[in-house]
Amino acid sequence: MNALRVQRSIETKVTEELKPVYLDVRNESAMHNVPPDSESHFKLVIVSERFAGLTRVKRHQTINGILEKELREDLHALSMETLTTEEWEQRHGRTFDSPACLGGSKADIS
């Protein structure tokens, strides 16, 4: 597997479809109980005027459609902050920190 294959795919697809003015694709897999160099947990911060007039749910559905293959085949978790330029400016470019992993696994379920 090519290093950063999933991350690059996400970056390329989102850029082509949404022409974001700001895009941050964070691989947060290392924060979870996964093998080293995994690409299974991501956080996206996307600022695009394509989100204007859309609810948060519709924005996320848009991303889910763009990343359908990755969600089906590669990703375990995807967190998103989807903003318009105006919303981004109102936040002064601040994003939310992801919560710490609770460390659970399927093996812990009885």
Q: What is the pLDDT along the chain (110 residues), one digit of tens a residue?
A: 445 798 899 999 999 999 999 999 988 776 766 666 677 778 999 999 999 999 999 999 999 999 999 999 988 788 999 999 999 999 988 887 766 665 654 444 44
pTM as predicted = 0.80
Contact between 84 and 47 under an 8 Å Cβ cutoff? The reply is yes
**In which domain, by residue range, is 17 found?**
5-93
Inside any domain, residue 103: no
Establish if 109 belongs to a structural domain. no
Residue 107 is assigned to a structural domain of this protein: no
pLDDT of residue 32: 67
CA distances from 31 to 2, 42, 52 (A): 21, 10, 32
The answer as to whether 34 is a domain residue is yes
Instruction: Decide if 104 is inside a domain.
Output: no
Cα→Cα distances 38→1, 4, 31, 41, 69, Å? 11, 9, 10, 8, 17
The CATH number given to whatever domain includes residue 65 is: 3.30.300.90
In a domain, 66, yes or no: yes
Residue 106 is assigned to a structural domain of this protein: no
In a domain, 14, yes or no: yes
Which pLDDT belongs to residue 107?
41
Structural domain count, the chain: 1
